[in-house]
């Protein structure tokens, strides 16, 4: 369970960061000329940077979101989340900033249900403690 939770947490944060950069930086730089041509004219360095971010990070986010969906779904089945909790968790990867809240929410739920995955837990790591060791 711990490796699956770790994979989910990594993917949720990567997808969240990419989405924030894409939506709050890339798209505004790329599309601001539609609101006012003088802000970032087509072909300016800022508009070209926005175009690059929109194109490449957009594609990366799309592919990584699919991996996020898979890891979140697998975690939901292993942790036996209710359907509503699972759907909200899966959809939160599409809303900037919300994926970070969702990751914390899911992590707390898994750690409460499976104490062995909590930080500092030595259960199942192969370590032994006791007299004579």
| pLDDT tens series, the chain, 133 aa | 889 999 999 999 999 999 999 999 998 988 888 888 887 788 889 889 999 999 999 899 889 999 999 999 999 999 999 999 999 999 887 888 888 999 999 999 999 999 888 776 655 544 444 444 3
Q: Residue 90 corresponds to which tokens in the numbers above?
A: 């899966």
| Beta carbons of 59 and 90 less than 8 angstroms apart | no
In a domain, 121, yes or no: no
CA dihedral 7, 10, 15, 17 (to 10 degrees): 180
In a domain, 16, yes or no: yes
In a domain, 92, yes or no: yes
Using CA atoms, how far apart are residues 89 and 69, in angstroms rounded to an integer? 9
In a domain, 133, yes or no: no
In a domain, 48, yes or no: yes
For the chain, the domain total comes to 1
| Beta carbons of 51 and 30 less than 8 angstroms apart | yes
pLDDT for the residue numbered 39: 77
In a domain, 72, yes or no: yes
Domain that holds residue 29: 2-116
Dihedrals phi, psi of 118, to nearest 5 degrees? -70, 150
What is the value of pTM for the model shown? 0.79
């Amino acid at each position: 369970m711990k490796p699956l939770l770790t994979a989910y947490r990594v993917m949720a944060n990567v997808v969240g960061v990419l989405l924030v950069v894409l939506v709050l930086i890339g798209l505004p730089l790329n599309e601001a000329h539609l609101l006012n041509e003088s802000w970032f004219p087509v072909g300016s360095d800022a508009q070209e940077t926005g175009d690059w971010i929109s194109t490449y990070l957009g594609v990366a986010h799309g592919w990584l979101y699919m991996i996020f969906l898979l890891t979140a779904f697998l975690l939901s089945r292993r942790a036996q989340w209710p359907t509503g909790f699972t759907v909200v968790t899966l959809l939160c990867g599409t809303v900037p900033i919300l994926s970070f809240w969702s990751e914390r929410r899911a992590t707390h739920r898994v750690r409460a249900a499976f104490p062995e995955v909590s930080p500092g837990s030595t259960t199942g790591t192969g370590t032994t403690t006791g007299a004579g060791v």
